[in-house]
Amino acid sequence: MASLSWRFFFTTLAVDLPLEEIVDEVRDFDERFGIILRKHLALLGWWCFLSLAVGVPGLFLL
Protein backbone atom coordinates (compact mmCIF):
# COMPACT_ATOMS: atom_id res chain seq x y z
CA MET A 1 0.00 0.00 0.00
CA ALA A 2 1.34 3.41 -0.92
CA SER A 3 1.97 5.93 1.81
CA LEU A 4 -0.51 8.77 2.22
CA SER A 5 0.44 12.41 1.92
CA TRP A 6 -0.70 15.18 4.25
CA ARG A 7 -2.72 16.65 1.40
CA PHE A 8 -4.87 13.50 1.37
CA PHE A 9 -6.17 14.24 4.88
CA PHE A 10 -7.23 17.77 3.90
CA THR A 11 -8.68 17.22 0.44
CA THR A 12 -10.55 13.96 1.09
CA LEU A 13 -12.78 15.47 3.75
CA ALA A 14 -13.79 18.26 1.37
CA VAL A 15 -15.09 15.88 -1.34
CA ASP A 16 -18.87 15.56 -1.43
CA LEU A 17 -20.33 12.08 -1.28
CA PRO A 18 -22.60 11.24 -4.24
CA LEU A 19 -25.31 9.65 -2.11
CA GLU A 20 -28.29 11.03 -4.03
CA GLU A 21 -27.20 9.60 -7.38
CA ILE A 22 -28.83 6.39 -8.56
CA VAL A 23 -26.40 3.51 -9.02
CA ASP A 24 -26.99 1.70 -12.31
CA GLU A 25 -23.83 -0.33 -12.73
CA VAL A 26 -21.43 -2.18 -10.50
CA ARG A 27 -18.66 0.14 -11.67
CA ASP A 28 -20.53 3.17 -10.30
CA PHE A 29 -21.06 1.39 -6.99
CA ASP A 30 -17.36 0.55 -6.75
CA GLU A 31 -16.43 4.19 -7.38
CA ARG A 32 -18.85 5.42 -4.70
CA PHE A 33 -17.63 2.75 -2.27
CA GLY A 34 -14.03 3.87 -2.87
CA ILE A 35 -14.93 7.50 -2.12
CA ILE A 36 -16.65 6.46 1.12
CA LEU A 37 -13.67 4.32 2.16
CA ARG A 38 -11.19 7.14 1.48
CA LYS A 39 -13.33 9.56 3.51
CA HIS A 40 -13.45 7.09 6.41
CA LEU A 41 -9.68 6.60 6.21
CA ALA A 42 -9.11 10.36 6.34
CA LEU A 43 -11.47 10.72 9.31
CA LEU A 44 -9.76 7.91 11.21
CA GLY A 45 -6.39 9.46 10.40
CA TRP A 46 -7.47 12.79 11.90
CA TRP A 47 -8.79 10.91 14.95
CA CYS A 48 -5.37 9.27 15.42
CA PHE A 49 -3.56 12.60 15.06
CA LEU A 50 -5.86 14.20 17.61
CA SER A 51 -5.42 11.30 20.03
CA LEU A 52 -1.65 11.56 19.77
CA ALA A 53 -1.69 15.35 20.12
CA VAL A 54 -3.73 15.12 23.32
CA GLY A 55 -2.46 11.82 24.71
CA VAL A 56 1.30 12.30 24.59
CA PRO A 57 1.31 15.61 26.49
CA GLY A 58 -1.26 14.11 28.86
CA LEU A 59 1.11 11.28 29.70
CA PHE A 60 3.86 13.73 30.62
CA LEU A 61 1.49 15.66 32.90
CA LEU A 62 0.58 12.56 34.92
| pLDDT tens for the 62 residues of the chain, in order | 577 777 887 888 888 877 777 777 776 778 888 888 988 999 998 999 999 999 999 988 88
Cα separation of 25 and 30, whole Å?
A: 9
44 falls within a domain:
yes
Could you tell me if residue 4 is inside a domain?
A: no
- Residue 8: the pLDDT is 81
Which residues fall within 8 angstroms of residue 12, CB to CB, at 6 or more apart? Answer: 38, 39, 41, 42
Residue 2 lies inside a defined structural domain of this protein = no
Give the domain range for residue 27. 23-62
Kindly state whether residue 49 falls inside one of the protein's structural domains: yes
pLDDT of residue 1: 59
16 domain-assigned = no
Q: Note the pLDDT of residue 51.
A: 95
Whether 38 is in a domain gets the answer: yes
Closest CA to 38 of 60, 16, 21: 16
Q: Give the helix ranges, DSSP H, for 1-62.
A: 6-14, 26-61
Instruction: For residue 35, give the 3-state DSSP assignment.
Output: helix
Residue 35 located in a structural domain = yes
pLDDT at 22: 74
Task: Quote the pLDDT of residue 21.
Answer: 73
Q: How many domains does the chain have?
A: 1
